[in-house]
Structure 1
């Protein structure tokens, strides 16, 4: 049935869900209560999500595109699951695997899948991002 849904239905359902969350947040009197609700939704999402894929789209730099090697959108990882950012420029796709763990398992499996299907790619770089261990009051 998922494939039977139209894009309009999906957009309307998402907008309705955001409306309900916004109404719930606005019904609270203090920021502390609102942060508690946000923390609850964050914990719930971490328990059900396995990965997030974000497609930024095709950069449209017209004549300047031939000078652009890649187009990257860098953001922090989400929770305990990987985030894959995809962008396109100059006839090429750039994929960034951002994950809160060091195992190369997912990237290696993706690379193998590309190779098995005869798709050539360039592994540009692997970067380990070290961030401070900050404990936010609502994430305890």
Structure 2
């Protein structure tokens, strides 16, 4: 029952995010590249979250647990990769943007960059590890 409630809440949050995106895009007078980039990144993250919710709901319908030990381990490993991506994006993101565009990022933009990069790294690593299977490392 707890797993079903989690999936229902995740679905409600996903629908709320999609409605917010639609309202945001319809209220913009002129669409610029920055808006399209933000919109595309958010859509990728929402689509990935919908896939994860669908996969968990499929497991529940089959009578399996929504998350088994393998998916929990993949979640931890993906969280670690997202954390490393956040650190490196905070360190090198402003530097690379300054070199390429000759533009210094404000603190709020650096924070947004860190959140976006860590989210994308987490989703990509989660989907990759869950589709290929996690290789177990034997420690001695």
* Higher strand proportion (structure 1 or 2): 1
Q: TM-score range by the shorter chain?
A: 0.3 to 0.5
* Higher helix proportion (structure 1 or 2): 2
The TM-score normalised by the length of structure 2 is 0.33
- Structure label with greater radius of gyration: 1
Return the structure number with greater relative CO, CA threshold 8 A, min gap 6. Answer: 2
The TM-score normalised by the length of structure 1 is 0.33
